[in-house]
Structure 1
Amino acid sequence: MCQNCDNCSVQGAQIMVSYRKRGNVWQYEISYKDRFGKYKKLRKSGFTHKSEAILAASQTQIEHPNLSSAKSSEEPLISYYKRWINIFKKNVVSKITYNKYQNTAQHIYEIFGDLKLKELTKLKYQEGLNSFAKTHAKRTVSCFHKQIRACLLEALDEKIIINDPSRKAVITGVERPKVNKFLSYNNWSKLIKNLNTNKIDEMIIFIAAVTGMRYGEIVGLTSKDIDFKNSYLNVNKTWDYKYKTGFMKTKTTSSVRKITIDNQTLYKLKEYLKLHDIPDKQPIFMNERNHVMVSAEINKSLTNKLECLNIPRITFHGLRHTHASILLYKGVSVLSVSRRLGHSNITTTQSTYLHIIKELQSQDQDKIVSILDNVTK
């Protein structure tokens, strides 16, 4: 090979490499056949010396034996990720899960822009992850990382990239202030007595407090789901309040259940329905603008109510924990509580409320000793 000419080439069976001086810098050009037999070209310039261009061209061929992958590495991360979720996730995961993947795509673009796959180093990836972590909880950052990493591992498998930039990434996030998991019996009772159940948000809070239902289950209720004759709520679906896709299946098959309610709750529901005049097939907590409150809105409403009543703050989901805890403390069996909550099995209930069950077991031991003492006297 001539070392001094401006144009030089090396030809193989399927690959031809040429070098050219453009101004003050050198460029290499690799012509190759793709898997369809069509000739493609891969160029890169900016080398001060021809020897540097030769070395870079050789390195490219070593790292990307089929060379198509080298061309693919020019694709932006965001573009590859969108194609990946469309091919591997769209018709496999649920609509809600796919929406989560799409949300990740939006965040990828906001953080990495049009950064090419080959330009995504470990340092740049970690910087992007750290930037995302400034405004998101650690759990959210972890989910974000897992979805991107799955995509990058696919690119690694295809030899589009030669290293995994997401390997050993450090996951951080915003520390959320600690919130009580449940209310005491007195505060629970105080909250229930001071709710205006003619208002949509406060009626939702009331139903959560007296049934332990999940938020999606509550906002998925229609008037037909209320059995006034037999005093129960029929939980057979949920409402997608986050992505607004309408009615959905319950979390699990065991979530389909009938929840017994008291006469006061039935009366409040009857008065609520009279006041709001809601069509049979429409969620009873949808307002006149066809809007169902999202979790952030109901949590804000609950926080404001608790502040007004001088009650320690809990999340909306904390009402479910409160309901279950109070039932257990009042002597309702773990099995009954499990069925009322719609848990898939009693083990879930036991593990969730282990601290309460242990406390109750301790009290039971005292009862057992007391019974035996009375018998053996």
Structure 2
Amino acid sequence: MRQLFEKYEWRVETMVSYRKRGEVWQYEISYKDINGKYKKLRRSGFHLKSDAEMAASKVRTDFVDVRQYRNAELSLDDYFERWLKLYKQGSVSDITLNKYTNTLQHIKQIFGHIKLKDISRSVYQDRINFFAQTHAVRTVATFHKQIRAALLDALDDHVITSDPTRKIVITGRPVRAKRKALDYEDWQKLIHCLDPTNKLDLIIYIAAVTGMRYAEILGITPKDFDPISQSLRINKTWDYKYRTGFKKTKNQASIRTIRIDVRTIQLVKEHIETNNIGRSTPLFLTDGIAPVSAQINKVLTDKLNSINIPRITFHGLRHTHASVLLYQGVSVLSVSKRLGHSNISTTQSTYLHIIKELEAQDNDKIISILSTL
């Protein structure tokens, strides 16, 4: 059987050849991979030589480097995993990297092994819609954002020829509004039902009377308390997720000194003495390990259920503390500093509904004062 063999040079490192095998034509592209080793890319089944030439030419046109054509043969999950190691590993925090890793697991479940070159806008939208059936809009938006970042890099590298994520519609499962904070009476009920001799109850108590973040509470040591001035110095946090020890505060404004009441100081003092805690040792560790957030949230939920109060999250204690102070007439500026917000606008935007209510009350007071003139 006669075989026709012709070669054309595309570039120094790439050669294309055509062969006729029986009744069909095949093209073969020889190229060097990233390590300098020669590899071959073959496609056959073309009835005419011109069809094989057109197909090979399309590879050249669509993919500037044939090596990128090989990348387009990768499944989305394989490409995303490589992209993650190349661009994100070592350049983002462990928490952020964990979010990307979760996205990779979802990609494997939602997209399966669909190849990059086969992901059109309609395919991508269909998969996003499927994901949205069981996830909230915010979760879907984050999922899409992270995949899109990888695919835009693939587009820049000519691995794909168009952006399948363009003009994608984001939907999601409706989320029921959650109670963010306790009112003043429920706040008091919770505080009075806590047993401060119990470590986890004491953590909840401190959050309720200081508005501190969970990681900030876990970072407290005995030397941070000053009984004379009735103050607590907040200058570090504790990594309860990855157990790497002390960490910096969320931002510079989070480094602060707040006033605390005599009872809180006494309860902390008793906890320190009972557990023989060293001056530089975090108050709430057990064998060097801090309770995880899920554990403290469960304890809080059980406490609230026991006194028939609707559930809030542990972070909701921070919102509760701020809300109580604002309703009791403490200025927004003082609340902002106590919470460790980077600027007062953060406090104003977070508690805008409360500020508007207080403004209405103030307006009534103003009219009452003017009416006596």
Give TM-score, length-normalised by structure 2: 0.88
Give the Å deviation of 1:279.
4.1
Give the Å deviation of 1:228.
2.6
Counterpart in the other structure of 2:118:
119
Contact 1:225 1:234 in 2 (8 A): yes
**Aligned positions of 1:139-150 closer than 5 A:** 139-150=138-149
Counterpart in the other structure of 2:8:
11
Measure, in 2, the Cα distance between the counterparts of 1:48 and 1:199. 81
**Aligned positions of 1:131-280 closer than 5 A:** 131-280=130-279
Measure, in 2, the Cα distance between the counterparts of 1:363 and 1:146. 43
Give the Å deviation of 1:191.
0.5
Measure, in 2, the Cα distance between the counterparts of 1:295 and 1:139. 21
Counterpart in the other structure of 1:308:
306
Give the Å deviation of 1:206.
1.1
2:39 is the alignment partner of 1:67: no
Measure, in 1, the Cα distance between the counterparts of 2:233 and 2:178. 31
Deviates more, 1:22-31 or 1:208-217: 22-31
Give unmatched runs, 5+ long, in structure 2.
none
Contact 1:61 1:67 in 2 (8 A): yes
2:358 is the alignment partner of 1:363: no
Identity %: 56
Deviates more, 1:216-225 or 1:170-179: 170-179
Measure, in 2, the Cα distance between the counterparts of 1:133 and 1:30. 42
Contact 2:83 2:150 in 1 (8 A): yes
Matched position secondary structure for 1:161: coil
Measure, in 2, the Cα distance between the counterparts of 1:13 and 1:139. 47
- Label 1:282 to 1:169 Cα distance change in 2 as closer, same or farther (>3 A): farther
Write the letter of the residue equivalent to 2:67: S
Matched position secondary structure for 2:257: strand
Give the Å deviation of 1:161.
1.0
Contact 2:5 2:20 in 1 (8 A): no
Measure, in 1, the Cα distance between the counterparts of 2:79 and 2:179. 42
Contact 1:9 1:16 in 2 (8 A): no
Give unmatched runs, 5+ long, in structure 1.
none
Contact 1:235 1:255 in 2 (8 A): yes
Counterpart in the other structure of 1:343:
341
Counterpart in the other structure of 2:351:
353
Measure, in 2, the Cα distance between the counterparts of 1:49 and 1:302. 74
CA deviations 1:276-311 (Å, max 9, x no partner) are 3344444322224x4323333322222221111111
What is the count of residue pairs matched by the alignment? 371
Give the Å deviation of 1:333.
0.9
Contact 2:4 2:20 in 1 (8 A): yes
Matched position secondary structure for 1:12: strand
Measure, in 1, the Cα distance between the counterparts of 2:142 and 2:57. 38
Counterpart in the other structure of 2:370:
372
- Label 1:232 to 1:23 Cα distance change in 2 as closer, same or farther (>3 A): farther
Measure, in 1, the Cα distance between the counterparts of 2:16 and 2:210. 73
CA deviations 1:158-191 (Å, max 9, x no partner) are 1011122222333333433321121111111000
Contact 1:238 1:249 in 2 (8 A): yes
2:286 is the alignment partner of 1:287: yes
